[in-house]
Amino acid sequence: MKKWKIGRSKVIFFIFILLLFTTFLVTASKTAKKVDSSIACRITDFSGEVDPTQRMGFFEGRDVAIPELALNTDTKTRVLGSSSAEKWIEIDLSDQTLKAWEGDSLFLQTLVSTGLPWFATPKGEYNIWSKMRATRMEGGEGKYYYNLPNVPYVMFFENDKVPSWRGYSLHGTYWHNDFGKVHSHGCVNLPTSMAEKLYYWTSPQMPEGKSYVRVSKDNPGTRIVIHE
């Protein structure tokens, strides 16, 4: 009898632990925010317009205030750069830098933050296919979940192997200031002041008073080269 009682108590204890663990997993799966990891940035606002009522974002477990520079609603068209040479962008993943070139002349250089090892920014040659003055981006999961309204000066890029629905882009960043180190979920994070200059320098050019533009035959997208 003693052996049976000891054995049964162990079984009961094991079942209790198993039920407790199962309950934890079910609860966690219901409460965790999950987004398809194949998408770098899930866009939930396609208007391209700044929403002045949204002044807080959420990034990896903390609330972040959106600075006034990102909320600027001026839509006056500005074309930067004076050279007639080809404009193109070079992103070096090894040293986390971006250079904007007009032919062989350097227009702009800045530190950036590209994708973390498990959310890597893809190497290759791309073209900008659309630009938005601002949008909401949501992605990641668990402690890497983020929900960021009014992401400023967004320039989406694609090629024949990395389609537009993957959501890769260059954009301004208000939720961290640690440029020169990887931080993103695949996009290229820029200081907002640099993203603003790049936004008005690149094509497709934004029509006067508009907040969103796509490429066209007469308004093609700037070339982007990403390498190590």
Q: What is the pTM assigned to this prediction?
A: 0.81
Mean of pLDDT values over 87-92: 98
Q: Are 27 and 48 contained in the same domain? A: no
pLDDT above 70 coverage of the chain, percent: 80
CATH code assigned at 157: 2.40.440.10
CA R_g for the chain: 23
User: Does a structural domain hold residue 37?
Assistant: no
Q: Which domain holds residue 11?
A: 1-31
pLDDT at 42: 79
Q: Which range among 69-78, 83-92, 138-147, 152-161 shows the weakest confidence by mean pLDDT?
A: 69-78
Inter-residue contact 45 to 148 (CB < 8 Å): no
- pLDDT beyond 90 at 7: no
For residue range 152-172, what is the model confidence (pLDDT) as tens digits?
999 999 999 999 999 999 999
Q: Are 5 and 99 contained in the same domain? A: no
pLDDT at 75: 67
Strand partners, 113: 189
Q: Are 18 and 110 contained in the same domain? A: no
- pLDDT beyond 70 at 34: no
Q: What is the 3-state secondary structure (H, E, C) of the chain?
A: CHHHHHHHHHHHHHHHHHHHHHHHHHHHHHHCCCCCCCCCCEECCCCCCCCCCCCEEEECCEEEECCHHHHCCCCCCCCCCCCCCCEEEEEECCCCEEEEEECCEEEEEEECECECHHHCCCCEEEEEEEEEEEEEEEECCHHHCEEEEEEEEEEEEECCCCCHHHCCEEEEECCCCCCCCCCECCCEEEEHHHHHHHHHHCCCCCCCCCCEEECECCECCCEEEEEC
**Domains contained in the chain, number:** 2
Closest CA to 70 of 129, 166, 137, 126: 137
CA distances to 28, 77, 192, 193, 214 from 207, in Å: 46, 7, 21, 21, 10
Q: Are 166 and 192 contained in the same domain? A: yes
Residue 151, Ramachandran bin (φ over 0: left; ψ between -120 and 50: alpha; else beta): beta
Q: Are 6 and 81 contained in the same domain? A: no
CA distances to 135, 158, 162, 212 from 52, in Å: 12, 29, 33, 17
Q: Tell me the pLDDT of the chain averaged across its residues.
A: 85
User: CA 51 to CA 73: how far, in whole Å?
Assistant: 9
For residue range 172-217, what is the model confidence (pLDDT) as tens digits?
999 999 999 999 999 999 999 999 999 999 999 999 999 999 999 9
pLDDT at 15: 52
Would you tell me how many other CB atoms lie within 10 Å of the CB of residue 80? 15
Q: Which range among 62-66, 71-75, 88-92, 103-107 shows the weakest confidence by mean pLDDT?
A: 71-75
